[in-house]
């Protein structure tokens, strides 16, 4: 199975900050990586797929980059609605698909 | 608007069975693969099972293989998860999730249900 290492596990930031979350995979997954946002009691929401493609309706302050085994999610000018937990997920053609452990973005 | 609505969760004893359902609406169901994903405090988000848009291929996580069965009825726009031989560690919120791209077989999940809680307890 492909292992996911997401960091940091917690991130404290202020409104207006730019934050970056990193996801590393144990094998080359080309660009088969997604980023999700989850708020308490809710389902995850897709933000980015194919490593860098912004899902329809998602604000442009969210961006993704990377390929192979190292990927990043960047949130520019953090807004109050962005305080949540973020997960990466690989969906390479080989099953099983796996998720990172999550990064909680907290208010500093 | 497009949505997924799960049902069928509940409390069950170890070794018992449950059948989850996920009713889809607002999109062409038979053109999209579907998945079940579960979430627990102990294991986080865990992909459980996949079924191709036509039901022709099923895939499972090793942790549920041989115990869980995913199926779909495209005439009813519904995907199911039959869970047998339930264990304490199957306790979780179970979500159904839709693939982003039609007629594809490995994809991000662009639509999720609200989740249904499964508790395995003696």
What pLDDT is recorded for position A44? Answer: 98
- Chain B contact probe: residue of A62, A96, A104 with most B CBs at under 10 A: A96
Chain B CB contacts of A44 below 8 Å: 45, 95, 109, 112
CB atoms within 10 A of CB B42: 8
Q: What confidence score (pLDDT) does residue B90 get?
A: 98
CB contacts, 8 Å: B46 with chain A: 99
Is the CB of residue B88 less than 8 Å from the CB of residue B121? Answer: yes
Q: What are the pLDDT tens digits along chain A (108 aa)?
A: 999 999 999 999 999 999 999 999 999 999 999 999 999 999 999 999 999 999 999 999 999 999 999 999 999 999 999 999 999 999 998 889 999 999 999 988
Q: Give the pLDDT score at B48.
A: 98
| Beta carbons of A99 and B45 less than 8 angstroms apart | yes
The SS3 call for residue B89 is helix
pLDDT 10s digits, B47-80: 999 999 999 999 999 999 999 999 999 999 999 9
The stretch B92-96 carries a mean pLDDT of 98
The confidence score (pLDDT) of residue A94 equals: 82
Which of A47-51, B8-12, B92-96, B100-104 has the weakest average pLDDT? Answer: B100-104
**Which residues does chain A have within 8 Å of residue B114's beta carbon, measured at their own beta carbons?**
42-43
The answer to whether B39 and B47 have CB atoms below 8 angstroms apart is no
Confidence at residue B106, expressed as pLDDT on a 0 to 100 scale: 85
């Amino acid at each position: 199975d492909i292992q996911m290492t997401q960091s940091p596990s917690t991130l404290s930031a202020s409104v207006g900050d730019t934050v970056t979350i990193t996801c590393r995979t144990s094998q080359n997954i080309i660009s088969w990586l997604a980023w999700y946002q989850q708020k308490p009691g809710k389902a995850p929401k897709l933000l980015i797929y194919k490593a860098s493609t912004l899902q329809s309706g998602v604000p442009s302050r969210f961006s993704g980059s990377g390929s192979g085994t190292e990927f990043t999610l960047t949130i520019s000018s953090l807004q109050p609605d962005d305080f949540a937990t973020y997960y990466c997920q690989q969906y390479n053609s080989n099953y099983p698909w796996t998720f990172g452990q999550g990064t909680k973005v907290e208010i500093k | 608007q497009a949505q997924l609505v799960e049902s069928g969760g509940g409390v069950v004893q170890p070794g018992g069975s449950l059948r989850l359902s996920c009713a889809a609406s607002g999109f062409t169901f038979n053109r999209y693969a579907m998945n079940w994903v579960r979430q627990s405090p102990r294991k986080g988000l865990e992909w459980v099972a996949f079924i191709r848009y036509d039901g022709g291929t099923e895939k499972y996580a090793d942790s549920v293989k041989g115990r869980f069965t995913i199926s779909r009825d495209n005439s009813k726009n519904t995907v199911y998860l039959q869970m047998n031989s339930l264990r304490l560690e199957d306790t979780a919120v179970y979500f159904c999730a839709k693939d982003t791209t039609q007629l594809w077989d490995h994809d991000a999940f662009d639509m999720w249900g609200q989740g249904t809680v499964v508790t395995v307890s003696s």
